[in-house]
A = this chain, B = another copy of it.
Amino acid sequence: MNRPSPTEEDLIQEFGNLYESYGLKRLEGLIVGLLLTQDEPVSLDGMVTLLGHSKGPISIAVRRLDDIGLVKKVNGPVNRRNYYAAHPDLFYNNFQFNMATVRKNRQMAERFLARLEEEEENGQAETVENLKHMRLFYQLMESFYQDFSAQWRKVKQQRLDGDASEKENGEDASRPETSALSE
């Protein structure tokens, strides 16, 4: 349980802001940020003292984060306590959330298209047209997400392999061939 440095404090707060802007709970972001700065698992009471929030909300937030796979229950020094760490696939798991909503959007378009098709009413041509646009868009997006998913797994594997054999070489050797990043 290392007390965060000032920079790490800022990091934690930024994660709070980030999660808040996503429509999630600020406290959940604070917890995730905190765990990213800790090399050892943190207990509930640890979070209470490190974050300065009270136990009730933290208990609930941590359970939720565990449910959605952003945080992981792990073993720690004291037996009776629950210890948590950032999930090793935190970012990827969070992404899978987005992927699910993309799929939901596509399915929504398809569901309504089917409904309109069997109704055969007139005056709904524009709706049908827009739903087809929507379906096409999210179909394409879904396929990109799946490709991304596969690629990331590959990159992550390379990263693990690299760490195992040639530890300590400063920069990442395993960066994939990406298109040039703007800015």
Q: Report Cα–Cα, A136/B153, bound state, in Å.
A: 12
Q: Do residues A143 and B179 form an inter-chain contact, with CB atoms below 8 A?
A: yes
A interface residues, tally (CB under 8 Å): 62
Contact string against B for A residues 30-67, beta-carbon threshold 8 Å, 1 for contact and 0 otherwise:
00000011110000000000000000000000000000
Per assembly, the copies of the chain total 2
Main secondary structure of the interface of A (DSSP, over half): helix
Nearest neighbor of A115 in chain B, beta-carbon distance:
B7
Q: Do residues B126 and A37 form an inter-chain contact, with CB atoms below 8 A?
A: yes
Q: Report Cα–Cα, A121/B91, bound state, in Å.
A: 26
Q: Do residues B7 and A116 form an inter-chain contact, with CB atoms below 8 A?
A: yes
Q: Do residues B23 and A121 form an inter-chain contact, with CB atoms below 8 A?
A: no
